[in-house]
Structure 1
Amino acid sequence: MHAPPFRLAQTSRAGRSDDDATGSRLRATDACCAPSAEQLTQARRRRARLAELDPHLHCSVIGTCLSTHELRKLVPRFTDLDRQHASDLEIHHAAVELAIAGGPGSKALHKALDERYAGAIRRFDQARDEDALLALWNESLKNGDIPPAYWALMTHPYATMPVRQAAFGELHMLSHLVGAANRADIRRLVALEEENAALRDKVERQQNRLREISAQRDTVIEQLTEQVVRLTAQASRQPSADTAALTDEVQALQRKLTEADQRVALHTSRREAAEQRLQQEQGTVDALRESRDHALSLLRVVQSECQALERATLDALDQPGARRAQLAGVQGKRVVYVGGRPGSNAALKALVSSAGGEFIVHDGGLEDRKGLLAAALPGADFVVFPVDCIDHDSMNMLKRVCERHQVEYYPLRTASVASFIDLMTRLQTGGTAPESAPRASAFCLRHG
Structure 2
Amino acid sequence: MCEKHDPLAAIIAAAMPQVAGPVASPSPRPAEQPKQVIKPVINNVMSVLGGQEAQASRRRRLWELGHACHCPLVGVGFPLGVLRKLVDKVTNGKVVADDYEVHVGAVTECASRNRLSEALQKELERRYAPVLLRFRNAKSTEQVAEMWRTAVNNGDVAGAFWAGLTHPRCTSELEEQMCRDLHMVQHQAGACVRADITKFNATLEENKRLTHDLNKSQQRAAALMAEKTADAEKHAAQLMQLRAQVVGKDSMIDSVRVELEQLKLSIPGLESRAKLADRLGQMEERERAMRNQIAELKLELARAAEAPVAAPPPQEAARQVVEHVMKMPLRLSDRAVLCVGGRNGNVASYRELIEREGAQFAHHDGGLEDNANRLEASLAAADLVICQTGCISHSAYWRVKDYCKRTGKRCVFIDNPSISSLARGLEQAGAE
TM-score scaled by length of structure 2: 0.41
Which is greater in Rg?
2
Higher relative contact order (CA 8 A, sep 6+): 1
